[in-house]
Structure 1
């Protein structure tokens, strides 16, 4: 898999409206309508020209798919809104899980872990893992 050039990712606004329309298989006027309705909100240049990212093109394809399945534009707007909220909440959960794991690692007496097919879990010091075949890592606390 090739990596993106430095400074570019899926949110980089690089496509003109004509290029984005071609990539999404839509007419440029349809993209303008979707922009007015708030379904896809491309970035704007200093001259107020629309610039679409790969994420925007993916969103346009999703709108086209839902529209083809008979979902109204208002329904599509709501679906996309909930999808965005879900993505944001998942990212927040990942951040909180990481912070919690860091906090647990800093606590005294909580440095015994078992690793198995279900992942890594903290176990009480002196206890055995509940699943056979788990690998246990013990780190003595600094005293």
Structure 2
């Protein structure tokens, strides 16, 4: 678990940090906008990532976007982050493949420079 996702704040503190009423946080949770972790005693615990998400929700609602629109925006943002992660993974694979191709081409070049004759190795001159 990253530090951003570590549960730190009870609902009253999270509400104060986010600038909303605790009941608003309960409503956001009901609508799936935020999912705080729970303690063994079922107390909601919010992480720094949750607080940042709540701040974004406040910013969007402050611009006149209703909760249905916020839900859609957050869903699209999540999908975009997933695609970015997939794209990063693909770039890493392409770099690994390019490195491997370069390695094989280098090996092939070395092999073409080295001729094996019975009992000795002779090097050809480069053109």
Q: TM-score range by the shorter chain?
A: 0.7 to 0.9
**Structure 1 stretches of at least 4 aligned residues deviating more than 6 Å after TM superposition:** none
Q: Where do 1:8-23 residues align within 5 Å?
A: 9-23=3-17
In structure 2, what is the equivalent of residue 33 of structure 1? 27
In structure 2, what is the equivalent of residue 94 of structure 1? 88
In structure 1, what is the equivalent of residue 118 of structure 2? none
Match of residue 72, structure 1, among 63, 66, 69: 66
Structure with higher Rg: it is 2
Q: Which runs of 5+ in 2 are unaligned?
A: 112-127
Number of residue pairs matched by the alignment? 107
Match of residue 57, structure 2, among 59, 63, 72: 63
Take 1:94 and 1:19, find their aligned partners in 2: how far apart are those partners? Answer: 36
- Give the structure-2-normalised TM-score: 0.78
Take 1:58 and 1:86, find their aligned partners in 2: how far apart are those partners? Answer: 17
Take 1:13 and 1:32, find their aligned partners in 2: how far apart are those partners? Answer: 16
Structure 1 or 2: more helix by fraction: 2
Shift of 1:36: 0.5
Q: Which runs of 5+ in 1 are unaligned?
A: 1-6, 110-139
| Alpha-carbon RMSD | 1.5
Question: Mean alpha-carbon deviation: is it higher for 56-65 or for 7-16?
Answer: 7-16
